[in-house]
Amino acid sequence: MPPVDDDTSPGTAIPAATAFLGLSFVACASMVVGLPPLAGFLAKFTLLNALLEPAVPGLARVATFALLLASGLLSLLALSRAGVRYFWSAPGRDAPRLRVLECAPLALLLGACALLAIRPEPALRYGRDAARGVLRPGDYVAAVLGATPASLPRRAVLGAAPAR
């Protein structure tokens, strides 16, 4: 049996920091692109579902639908190429050095995105309420102008003598 040359041996050890950053990049790219079942897919699905309402004109509906799907495809291609170029085809580059403190915010962000994919109802409800408030500013104006002013302490009123 011939000796195995180190340069051609199958499998190369990947440093933990590179593996963590690479997998985090794949997770973030998948969310941005809108691949199911991640949070980006839920957002894209909600937008596509809103286009099915009769209030959206036919040509605008088709154009927006096509643009949403095309943007996902083009984003997938661009981010895949960037990830391959940076993480898998960069020979001779030193492995990054990461501390746990540097990884914690990214892990927390990915955990929050996973939670958003599992329980999207509160975020969708908040977004729906915000959109309703933007589309109907009269409710906000009525709430602000119709509110009774709070009573101020006597010394807070301009020109009043301080209490002794």
Give residue-wise pLDDT tens across range 6-16: 555 566 667 78
Give residue-wise pLDDT tens across range 42-58: 888 888 888 888 777 88
Whole-structure pTM value: 0.63
Which regions of the chain are under pLDDT 70?
1-13, 90-92, 150-164
The per-residue pLDDT for 22 is 85
* Mean pLDDT, all residues of the chain: 81
The per-residue pLDDT for 138 is 86
Q: What whole-number distance in Å separates Cα of residue 61 and Cα of residue 78?
A: 26
For 73-109, letters b (16+ CB in 10 Å) and e give: eeebeebeeebeeebeeeeeeeeeeeeeeeeeebeee
Degrees, nearest 5: CA angle 15-18-22: 140
Task: List Cα–Cα distances, 69 to 62, 64, 127, in angstroms.
Answer: 11, 9, 22
